[in-house]
């Protein structure tokens, strides 16, 4: 698996016909705005349809509204002089949140997809594993074909977050068991 940019310590091998992992990609779109007055952004609510519309930027001012996307995956479609639609060319997606300042518009998009070779799976504490999908996995002793192969050394590496979480859990359990009510 080293050709994928990971070591065998990080590797997770999964049989291709097992749909065990749903993956999620996040895209942050940034757009430079040139306008003199009030600018508003109206995002698409819910899942985007096949038209790939992200939302509409409306300008209430005298000068012409100009948008300059920083991503090649975003295109602008002028509707009127002061109204421009934004399209993202990788549907389906959902608009998670957006932030509009005086000169920039930032939009966070979420996109679900099936797991594929090279996807990184990670926990909240930063352990990561790079996924490799294979058509067939080697048979075990009793002619059983496993669904998933994980290096045991990668499972038991502790991070400070895990140690802290474990100690807090133990402390909370002791407080529940031996604590008395606090009285003023």
* 32 close to 103: Cβ distance less than 8 angstroms: yes
Task: Answer whether residue 12 shows pLDDT above 50.
Answer: yes
Task: Answer whether residue 121 shows pLDDT above 50.
Answer: yes
What is the average pLDDT score of the chain? Answer: 78
Residue 109 to residue 96: CA distance in whole angstroms: 6
Strand order in the sheet with 120-122: 120-122, 128-134, 11-15, 148-150
Task: Answer whether residue 1 shows pLDDT above 50.
Answer: no
Q: Where are the extended beta strands (E) located within the chain?
A: 11-15, 22-34, 38-43, 53-60, 66-69, 74-80, 83-88, 94-100, 104-114, 120-122, 128-134, 148-150
Task: Answer whether residue 39 shows pLDDT above 90.
Answer: yes
* 35 close to 61: Cβ distance less than 8 angstroms: yes
DSSP strand pairing (11-15 vs 128-134): parallel
pTM for the whole structure: 0.63
Residue 27 to residue 106: CA distance in whole angstroms: 10
What are the phi and psi torsion angles at 111 (to 5°)? -140, 125
Residue 43 to residue 58: CA distance in whole angstroms: 11
pLDDT tens digits, one per residue of 41-100? 999 876 656 668 899 999 998 889 999 999 888 999 999 889 999 999 888 888 999 999
Split at pLDDT 50, 70, 90, the class of 118 is confident
Residue 151 to residue 131: CA distance in whole angstroms: 12
Q: What is the pLDDT of residue 20?
A: 63
Rounded mean pLDDT of 126-135? 75
Whose structure tokens read 């075990």?
Answer: 140
Q: What is the pLDDT of residue 141?
A: 80
Task: Name the nearest CA neighbour of 43 among 87, 102, 89.
Answer: 87
């Amino acid at each position: 698996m080293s050709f994928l940019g990971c070591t065998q310590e990080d590797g997770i091998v999964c049989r291709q016909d097992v749909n065990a992992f749903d993956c999620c990609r996040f895209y942050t779109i940034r757009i430079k705005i040139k306008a003199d007055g009030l600018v508003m952004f109206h995002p698409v609510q819910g899942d985007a349809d096949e038209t790939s519309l992200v939302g509409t930027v409306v300008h209430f001012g005298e000068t012409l509204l100009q948008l300059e996307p920083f991503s090649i995956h975003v295109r602008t479609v002028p509707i009127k002089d002061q109204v421009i639609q934004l399209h993202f060319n990788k549907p389906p997606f959902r608009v998670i949140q957006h932030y509009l300042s005086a000169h920039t518009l930032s939009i966070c998009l979420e996109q679900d997809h099936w797991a594929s070779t090279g996807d990184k799976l990670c926990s909240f504490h930063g352990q990561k594993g790079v996924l490799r999908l294979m058509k067939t996995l080697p048979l075990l002793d009793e002619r059983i074909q496993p669904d998933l192969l994980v290096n045991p050394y990668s499972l038991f590496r502790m991070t400070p977050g895990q140690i802290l979480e474990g100690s807090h859990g133990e402390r909370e359990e002791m407080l529940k068991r031996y604590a008395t009510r606090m009285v003023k």
